[in-house]
């Protein structure tokens, strides 16, 4: 034993445990997010519990089992149930939905209270546009007030979804465009007034256009009203778990599934449909349900803008550091600056971005170019452009370090060869160095994108919002609205997970969003690393 | 050479253009860092600037006779004067297209023929109370009516009489009045007065409806005390709860809120210790503090403090205004805790109570008899000179912030003792913001420390093994896997910490402590078991596979810890460790506490430390280790005595980098703590950090306010913290690199 300790072997094993703990935590974390995130999409079985209290009262609970845990019996001071001598009790967290009938989406069910547990085939999961899911048995289907065959339900739902799409198109895109146009006319008029150019002729011009728009709007509105009437045509009658029957207008219904009737493959199909909906749909119910499309869109657009800004700057700075800078104190200072830019907390960039870009630069831009819309700010308030610029500064060191590493790996013989053949330094750079270093630059940019996609703290100050009314890119001139606020996946996680009114109900969605974000970032990182590794191999070949 | 100049030149031009542009691009990196630094300083700087006062305009009074009151409107566009004849007149202070500077805009005689003015008092609500020699008062309020004619803005002065134009007798018996104090709001007015026949009386005028619309009232008279000899000062607090009367250095405090009687609440002598005399008395804005000026040149601040014997008036702080001259006038500001002092020679001083700031001093008046008034927004002073009105601009935007107020204990009104408090906003209007950076800096340190406590051992152990013992094949996959963790967005770590880890730890609290014992124990047991294995199996399972061998053991140990957790809880902690901690140990327990933050943020900094420490250990020159091994040292001895010693600066810089990251991390602490700014090292309590504080409060702070600038200061502190850590780390690393290359 003593010699064993003297050999140092226990300490080696202890340090090995350090590696194991790190590995367990990385893999465990990813596994945790993946399992929780994916189970959100998997259609789960619907259980029917018949409960009986110690007093003999019975009730029925229908829902999905979200969680189960064992708790010591001593923690329960529940007079409703006779626990006997059991030391611990199993309980289930059941999502019962039916928000209009019960206050809470979730309830705990104690195992000893369960008299009978079954999975009835004909329980329907009705996913709705508002009020969350409804679990129940479909009793009747009405078309225009007349009872019809239940089998027609599928075609009715398809019809409703088509109509809803039309309504959305009318409301969001067409009427939105008219409102946008009206606002632009107002601003133009105000601008003319400020410039002293508002003559009667100009005024009538604006007025005429306004009337045209008003006429267009009337037409659209009539259409919209007709569609709204159409969409309310059908309804279903559903019996809930407590025996009550509830009328649900199909207008509310997104889809109806009979999870308990599904086999493995139809569940798999449903699983992928749900993932598709999650990625492609807009959020509903204060972000706690529906998809995350605007957040994905906002993240991607912001990151693209950032890439456009950071790539040239980072590459140029790296070229300067590696190819031009002499070995002197100033270069050392520059390197310290790069390290520090990488080390400054991201929130500091947010503060700087808010003060400098938003209030100072943005405020000045408003004064100079958008006096007509003052006092409401255009660029003088947080927006996607300022977010992109702020994150560009934040990720600058990532691009610099990666590019410089690539430059350092290029054998100097290649530079010398080019210069010896009479090329200038600029030509050598452009024709020889940059093409060879391009994978390294790519690596840097990908790493920068991965970093930017996950950064939230500075964005909370310079442009992200929980719910953006319109995307920063749409069909209205000038199409790309750099002054608009946007939604972001990372902020979505924070907001839904911590700021939403019903955290418990929203949690699965947060896991799903987290999974999406992690997948994007891990994929980006892996790509970057594999490019870098391939590059290293290539240079190793070049050297020999 | 046959290259002609013609083909040569554009290429050369391009070349130098490229050189120039690339150099500019390179320098821009440094420029960016300097810009961030300078901009933060630029925003912070006004907070620490002293006040300044400069002349703005001077106008001549048209009205003859001495002036008894002056003032200006909120925007300092119109000034007014009340003469000793009781005439109020308004003057244009800033020229516009209708009125030149100095034009008399309105003349309003306030008194009727047989009334003579005895005294004028001003209230904090901008009312002027004229006391006549008959013992009646009249309350007037200058009003400034804003109207728009198209785009043209017009300001018109007017005089309002909130209690009606008739004279009101203060005393029920219509006695003459020696001195009085008056306070009113929209529901009632309270007057505390001393009559000529030595009675101290309280008179309440209760509005029938609301004084804003209707001057009708009913009066109630109360006798406070009889046979009161001369009094020096008399004051009613603006909230009408207390009245204070000073005579012969003795201050008597009366409770005024009862309708039945006016009891004496207490008496104290504020100047007994200084052996001085009271020469001035004023109420600080917010009506909790009294200021006393003494003949020894001091101003003393007193307010009520909760003590063991109930609430008592205590001296909180004193300000040295002058060495030898008495302080004869104190002018408190309307909304903030600033005040001006005047000495008999006319020397004026500007102070702020809470921050104990000595903001400005200067000779501004001829004597203390010259009239002075503070502009409503405290951005100016109006001084009545020799037949003229002088208006001065006061620049004093952030008097409440001083370096010492930010970092030292401050005694706020209503608190029993000085304390470090961060409390930037509140629902009520007369709330005083409390900006102490100590609790949030402390929170930052605490969070970083718990994170490092967790991360440093794990990361460095992992780095040692990966760099020194691990076979290269395994290292190629293990290192990027651990480094992948660095790429994980902190918002996800924070979300898991707040919504998954925190409830888990709360439910299985003993498991966390069991893990601390079980994990090392399991490691040692496995190691010993391996040591005892027969040789032939050892060859098949070499020590270099240790992480893989130990991996399932650790997982099993962790599962065991969670399995045992309820058992331990039931047998030692009465079934609920959380309750045990709160009830039996008396320690507060937050669900989102330092333990959760430590673990979550620990995970975030492990890859940073691991990656850099691993690099440092791995790049220790091989001939050093080979030499040591050749001389007969064991692997472990070589590691401890040669490798770690050589790489120690690198490991140090790795820890510094990790610390820098932990200090600045925002999302994890934001989501995994309760964000309460308390100073407490307890592992079961939350904290608020500088970064989370910025994230929470920045979106709501008003641009340019003290709060906004202090949040910038918090960012600046973070910037400087991390700048020091990073620069130190980088410096050490550079040195190390040079050392390696020389070896």
Q: Inspect the interface and report whether the beta carbons of B19 and A14 lie closer than 8 Å.
A: no
Confidence of residue B1 (pLDDT cuts 50, 70, 90): very low
**B422 located within any domain:** no
Across the interface, of B14, B29, B487, the residue whose CB is closest to A426 is B14
Chain B interface mutation, best of A10, A12, A22, A295, highest count of B Cβ atoms under 10 Å: A22
Identify the closest residue of chain B to A353 by CA–CA distance. Answer: B36
- Residues of chain A with Cβ-Cβ distance to B666 below 8 Å are 345-347, 456-457
Q: Inspect the interface and report whether the beta carbons of A16 and B576 lie closer than 8 Å.
A: no
Q: Inspect the interface and report whether the beta carbons of A336 and B519 lie closer than 8 Å.
A: no
**B596 located within any domain:** yes
> What pLDDT, on the 0 to 100 scale, is given for residue B387?
82
Only one residue has tokens 């505390």, namely B192
Domain range spanning residue B684? 437-507+588-742
**Segment B147-166, tens digit of pLDDT:** 887 667 788 888 988 888 88
Q: Inspect the interface and report whether the beta carbons of B15 and A461 lie closer than 8 Å.
A: no
Q: How far is CA B150 from CA A303, A486, B147, in A?
A: 47, 39, 9
| Distance in Å, alpha carbon of A126 to nearest chain B alpha carbon | 28
Question: What span, in angstroms and rounded, lies between the C-alpha atoms of B590 and B682?
Answer: 10
Write down the mean pLDDT value for chain B. Answer: 87
Q: Inspect the interface and report whether the beta carbons of B550 and A20 lie closer than 8 Å.
A: yes
**Segment B450-463, tens digit of pLDDT:** 999 999 999 999 99
- Residues of chain B with Cβ-Cβ distance to A72 below 8 Å are 566, 569-570, 575
Q: Inspect the interface and report whether the beta carbons of A14 and B458 lie closer than 8 Å.
A: no
Q: Inspect the interface and report whether the beta carbons of A510 and B499 lie closer than 8 Å.
A: yes
Residue B273's CB: how many other CB atoms inside 10 A? 9
Across the interface, of B21, B463, B492, the residue whose CB is closest to A33 is B492
Q: Inspect the interface and report whether the beta carbons of B461 and A18 lie closer than 8 Å.
A: yes
The yes-or-no verdict on residue B339 having pLDDT over 80 is yes
Specify whether the backbone of B261 is left (phi greater than 0), alpha (psi in -120 to 50) or beta: beta
Q: Is A480 on the interface with B (CB under 8 A)?
A: no
Q: Could you check whether the bond before residue A375 is cis, i.e. omega within 30 degrees of 0? A: yes
Percent helix, percent strand, percent coil in chain B, to nearest 5: 40, 25, 30
**B31 located within any domain:** no
Cβ pair B88, B81 in contact under 8 A: yes
Question: What span, in angstroms and rounded, lies between the C-alpha atoms of B32 and B28?
Answer: 6
Cβ-defined contacts of A537-540 (< 8 Å, 24+): A539/A409, A539/A410, A539/A411
Strand partners, A69: A91
**Segment B232-255, tens digit of pLDDT:** 899 998 888 889 999 888 899 998
Cβ pair A92, A18 in contact under 8 A: no
**B711 located within any domain:** yes
Q: Inspect the interface and report whether the beta carbons of B727 and A336 lie closer than 8 Å.
A: yes
Chain B interface mutation, best of A21, A34, A455, A487, highest count of B Cβ atoms under 10 Å: A21
Q: Is A499 on the interface with B (CB under 8 A)?
A: no
Which positions ≥6 away from A108 have C-beta within 8 Å? A91, A92, A93, A94
Cβ pair B128, B139 in contact under 8 A: yes
Q: Is A427 on the interface with B (CB under 8 A)?
A: yes
Summarize the confidence of residues B574-591 as an average pLDDT: 80
CATH number for the domain spanning B484: value is 1.10.3720.10
Confidence of residue B336 (pLDDT cuts 50, 70, 90): confident
The yes-or-no verdict on residue B93 having pLDDT over 80 is yes
Give burial (CB, 10 Å; 0-12/13-18/19+) of B489: buried
Question: What span, in angstroms and rounded, lies between the C-alpha atoms of B570 and B579?
Answer: 12
**Segment B201-234, tens digit of pLDDT:** 999 998 888 888 888 888 888 888 888 888 889 9
Q: Could you check whether the bond before residue B552 is cis, i.e. omega within 30 degrees of 0? A: no
Across the interface, of A323, A351, A455, the residue whose CB is closest to B712 is A351
What is the total count of domains within chain B?
1
Identify the closest residue of chain B to A452 by CA–CA distance. Answer: B489
Q: Inspect the interface and report whether the beta carbons of B29 and A453 lie closer than 8 Å.
A: no
Q: Inspect the interface and report whether the beta carbons of A29 and B496 lie closer than 8 Å.
A: yes
| Distance in Å, alpha carbon of A503 to nearest chain B alpha carbon | 9
- Residues of chain A with Cβ-Cβ distance to B543 below 8 Å are 9, 12
The yes-or-no verdict on residue B430 having pLDDT over 80 is no
| Full pLDDT tens readout for chain A, 544 residues | 778 877 788 888 889 999 999 999 999 999 999 999 998 888 888 898 888 877 778 888 888 888 887 777 766 666 566 666 667 788 888 888 888 888 777 888 888 888 888 888 888 888 888 888 888 888 888 888 888 888 888 888 888 889 988 988 888 888 888 888 888 888 888 888 888 877 888 888 888 888 998 998 999 899 889 988 888 888 888 888 888 888 888 888 888 888 888 889 999 999 999 999 999 888 887 788 888 999 999 999 999 999 999 999 999 999 999 989 888 888 888 988 998 888 899 999 999 999 999 999 999 999 888 888 778 888 888 999 999 999 999 999 999 999 998 898 888 888 999 999 999 999 999 988 998 888 889 889 988 998 999 899 999 999 898 888 788 888 777 888 888 899 999 999 999 988 887 777 788 889 999 999 999 999 988 888 888 888 777 777 765 5
**B413 located within any domain:** no
> What pLDDT, on the 0 to 100 scale, is given for residue B428?
66
CATH of A297-488, one of 1.20.1260.60, 1.10.3720.10, 3.60.40.10, 2.40.30.20: 1.10.3720.10
Q: Inspect the interface and report whether the beta carbons of B671 and A494 lie closer than 8 Å.
A: yes
Residue B383's CB: how many other CB atoms inside 10 A? 20
| Distance in Å, alpha carbon of A320 to nearest chain B alpha carbon | 5
Please report, for chain A, the start and end positions of each structural domain, with discontinuous segments joined by +. Answer: 47-136, 145-232, 297-488
> What pLDDT, on the 0 to 100 scale, is given for residue B292?
92
Chain B interface mutation, best of A71, A457, A530, highest count of B Cβ atoms under 10 Å: A457
> What pLDDT, on the 0 to 100 scale, is given for residue B7?
54
**What tokens does B208 get?**
């029938």
Q: Inspect the interface and report whether the beta carbons of B523 and A17 lie closer than 8 Å.
A: yes
Q: For residue B282, which phi and psi values (nearest 5 degrees)?
A: -155, 155
**Segment B381-415, tens digit of pLDDT:** 988 877 888 899 999 888 888 888 888 888 888 88
| Distance in Å, alpha carbon of A279 to nearest chain B alpha carbon | 18
Q: Inspect the interface and report whether the beta carbons of B667 and A494 lie closer than 8 Å.
A: yes
Cβ pair A91, A76 in contact under 8 A: no
> What pLDDT, on the 0 to 100 scale, is given for residue A358?
93
Strand partners, B107: B89
Only one residue has tokens 């995350």, namely A292
Q: Is A518 on the interface with B (CB under 8 A)?
A: yes
Across the interface, of B482, B575, B691, the residue whose CB is closest to A345 is B691
For the entire predicted model, the pTM comes to 0.89
Across the interface, of B26, B459, B575, the residue whose CB is closest to A321 is B26
**B646 located within any domain:** yes
**B720 located within any domain:** yes
- Residues of chain B with Cβ-Cβ distance to A324 below 8 Å are 19, 22-23, 26
**Segment B495-540, tens digit of pLDDT:** 999 989 998 998 888 898 899 999 999 999 998 888 888 888 888 8
Complex prediction ipTM = 0.89
**B704 located within any domain:** yes
């Amino acid at each position: 034993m003593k010699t064993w300790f003297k050999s140092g072997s226990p300490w080696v094993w202890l340090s090995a445990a350090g590696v194991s703990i790190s590995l367990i935590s990385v893999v465990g974390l990813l596994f945790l997010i993946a399992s929780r995130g994916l189970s959100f999409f998997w259609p789960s079985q619907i259980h029917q519990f018949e409960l009986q209290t110690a007093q003999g009262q019975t009730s029925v609970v229908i829902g999905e089992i979200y969680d189960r845990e064992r708790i010591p019996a001593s923690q329960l001071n529940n007079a409703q149930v006779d626990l006997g001598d059991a030391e611990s009790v199993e309980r289930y967290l059941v999502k019962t939905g039916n928000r209009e009938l019960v206050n809470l989406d979730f309830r705990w069910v104690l195992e000893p209270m369960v008299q009978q547990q079954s999975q009835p085939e004909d329980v329907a999961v009705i996913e709705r546009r508002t009020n969350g899911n409804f679990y129940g048995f479909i009793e009747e289907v009405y078309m225009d007030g007349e009872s019809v065959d239940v089998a027609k339900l599928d075609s009715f739902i398809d019809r409703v979804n088509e109509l809803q799409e039309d309504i959305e198109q009318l409301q969001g895109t067409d009427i939105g465009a008219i409102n946008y146009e009206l606002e632009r006319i107002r601003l133009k008029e105000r601008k003319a007034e400020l410039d002293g150019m508002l003559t009667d002729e100009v005024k009538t011009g604006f007025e005429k256009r306004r009337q045209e728009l008003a006429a267009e709007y009337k037409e659209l509105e009539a259409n919209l009203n007709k569609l709204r009437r159409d969409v309310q045509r059908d309804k279903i009658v559903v019996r809930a778990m407590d025996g009550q029957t509830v009328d649900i207008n199909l207008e509310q219904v997104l889809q109806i599934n009979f999870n308990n009737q599904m086999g493995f493959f139809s569940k798999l199909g449903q699983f992928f449909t749900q993932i598709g909906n999650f990625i492609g749909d807009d959020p509903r119910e204060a972000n706690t349900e529906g998809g995350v499309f605007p957040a994905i869109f906002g993240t991607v657009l912001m990151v693209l803008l950032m890439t456009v800004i950071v790539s040239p700057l980072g590459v140029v700075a790296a070229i300067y550091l590696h190819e031009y800078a002499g070995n002197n104190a100033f270069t050392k200072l520059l390197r310290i600056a790069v390290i520090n830019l990488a080390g400054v907390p991201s929130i500091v960039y947010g503060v700087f971005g808010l003060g400098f870009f938003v209030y100072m630069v943005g405020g000045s831009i408003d004064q100079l170019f958008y006096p007509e819309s003052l006092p409401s700010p255009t660029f003088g308030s947080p927006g996607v452009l300022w977010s992109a610029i702020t994150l560009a500064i934040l990720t600058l060191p990532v691009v610099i370090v990666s590019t410089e590493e690539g430059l350092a790996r290029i054998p100097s013989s290649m530079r010398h060869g080019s210069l010896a053949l009479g090329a200038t330094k600029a030509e050598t750079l452009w024709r020889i160095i940059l093409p060879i270093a391009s994978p390294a630059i790519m690596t840097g940019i990908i790493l920068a994108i991965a970093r930017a996609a996950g950064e939230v703290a500075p964005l909370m100050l310079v442009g992200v919002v929980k719910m953006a009314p319109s995307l920063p890119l749409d069909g209205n001139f000038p199409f790309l609205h750099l002054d608009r606020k946007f939604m972001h996946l990372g902020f979505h996680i924070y907001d839904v997970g911590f700021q939403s009114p019903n955290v418990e109900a929203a949690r699965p969605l947060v896991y799903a969003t987290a999974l999406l974000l992690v997948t994007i970032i891990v994929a980006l990182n892996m790509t970057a690393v594999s490019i870098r590794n391939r590059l290293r191999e290539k240079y190793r070949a070049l050297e020999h | 050479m046959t290259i002609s100049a013609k083909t040569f030149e554009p290429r050369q031009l391009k070349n130098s253009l490229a050189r120039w542009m690339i150099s500019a691009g390179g320098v821009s990196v440094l420029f960016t860092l300097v810009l961030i630094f300078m901009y933060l300083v630029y925003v912070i700087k006004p907070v620490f600037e002293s006040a300044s006062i400069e002349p703005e305009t001077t106008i001549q009074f048209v009205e003859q006779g001495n002036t008894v009151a002056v003032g200006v409107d909120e925007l300092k566009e119109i000034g007014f004067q009340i003469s000793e004849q009781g005439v109020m007149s308004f003057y244009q202070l800033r020229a516009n297209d209708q009125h030149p500077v100095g034009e008399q805009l309105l003349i309003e005689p306030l008194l009727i023929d047989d009334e003579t003015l005895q005294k004028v008092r001003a209230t904090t609500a901008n009312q002027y109370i004229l006391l006549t020699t008959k013992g009646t008062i009249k309350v007037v309020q200058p009003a400034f009516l804003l109207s728009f004619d198209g785009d043209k803005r017009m300001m018109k002065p007017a005089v309002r009489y909130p209690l009606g134009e008739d004279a009101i007798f203060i005393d029920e018996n219509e006695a003459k009045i020696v001195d009085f104090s008056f306070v009113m709001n929209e529901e009632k007015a309270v007057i505390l007065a001393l009559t000529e026949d030595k009675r101290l009386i309280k008179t309440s005028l209760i509005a029938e409806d609301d004084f804003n619309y209707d001057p009708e009232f009913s009066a109630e008279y109360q006798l406070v005390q009889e046979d009161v000899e001369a009094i020096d000062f008399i004051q009613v607090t603006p909230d009408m709860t207390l009245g204070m009367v000073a005579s012969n250095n003795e201050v008597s405090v009366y409770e005024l809120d009862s309708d039945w009687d006016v009891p004496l609440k207490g008496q104290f002598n504020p100047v007994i210790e200084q052996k001085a005399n009271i020469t001035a008395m004023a109420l600080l804005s917010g009506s909790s503090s009294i200021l006393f000026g003494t003949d020894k040149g001091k101003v003393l601040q007193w307010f009520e403090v909760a003590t063991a014997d109930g609430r008592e008036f205590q001296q909180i702080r004193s300000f040295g205004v002058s060495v030898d001259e008495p302080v004869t006038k104190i002018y408190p500001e309307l909304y903030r805790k600033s005040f001006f002092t005047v000495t008999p020679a006319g020397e004026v001083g500007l102070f702020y109570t809470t921050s104990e700031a000595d903001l400005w001093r200067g000779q501004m008046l001829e004597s203390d008899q010259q009239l002075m008034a503070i502009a409503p927004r405290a951005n100016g002073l109006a001084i009545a000179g020799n037949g003229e009105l002088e208006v001065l601009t006061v620049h004093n935007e952030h008097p409440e912030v001083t370096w010492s107020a930010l970092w030292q204990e401050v005694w706020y009104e209503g608190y029993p003792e000085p304390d470090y408090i961060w409390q930037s906003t509140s629902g009520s209007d007369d709330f005083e913001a409390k900006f102490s950076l100590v609790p949030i800096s402390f929170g930052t340190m605490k969070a970083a420390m718990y994170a490092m406590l967790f991360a440093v051992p794990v990361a460095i152990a992992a780095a040692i093994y990966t760099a020194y013992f691990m076979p290269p094949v395994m290292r190629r996959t293990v290192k990027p896997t651990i480094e992948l963790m660095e790429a994980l967005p902190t918002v996800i770590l924070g979300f898991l910490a707040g919504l998954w880890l925190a409830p888990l730890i709360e439910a299985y609290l003993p498991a966390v402590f069991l893990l601390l014992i079980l994990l090392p124990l399991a490691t040692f047991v496995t190691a010993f078991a391996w040591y005892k294995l027969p040789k032939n199996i050892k060859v098949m399972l070499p020590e270099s596979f240790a992480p893989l061998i130990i991996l399932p053991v650790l997982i099993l140990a962790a599962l065991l810890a969670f399995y045992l957790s309820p058992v331990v809880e039931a047998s030692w902690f009465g079934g609920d460790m959380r309750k045990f901690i709160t009830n039996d140990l008396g320690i507060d327990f937050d669900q989102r506490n330092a333990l959760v933050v430590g673990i979550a943020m620990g995970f975030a900094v492990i890859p940073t430390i691991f990656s850099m420490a691993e690099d440092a250990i791995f790049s220790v020159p091989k001939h050093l280790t080979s030499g040591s091994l050749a001389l007969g040292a064991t692997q472990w001895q070589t590691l401890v005595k040669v490798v770690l010693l050589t790489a120690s600066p690198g490991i140090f810089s790795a820890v510094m980098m990790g610390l820098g990251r932990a200090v600045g991390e925002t999302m994890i602490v934001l989501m995994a703590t309760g964000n309460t700014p308390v100073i407490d090292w307890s592992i079961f309590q939350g904290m608020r950090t500088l970064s989370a504080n910025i994230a929470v409060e920045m979106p709501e702070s008003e641009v340019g306010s003290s709060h906004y600038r202090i949040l910038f200061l918090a960012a600046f502190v973070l910037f400087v913290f991390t700048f020091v850590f990073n620069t130190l780390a980088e410096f050490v690393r550079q040195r190390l690199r040079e050392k390696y290359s020389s070896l």
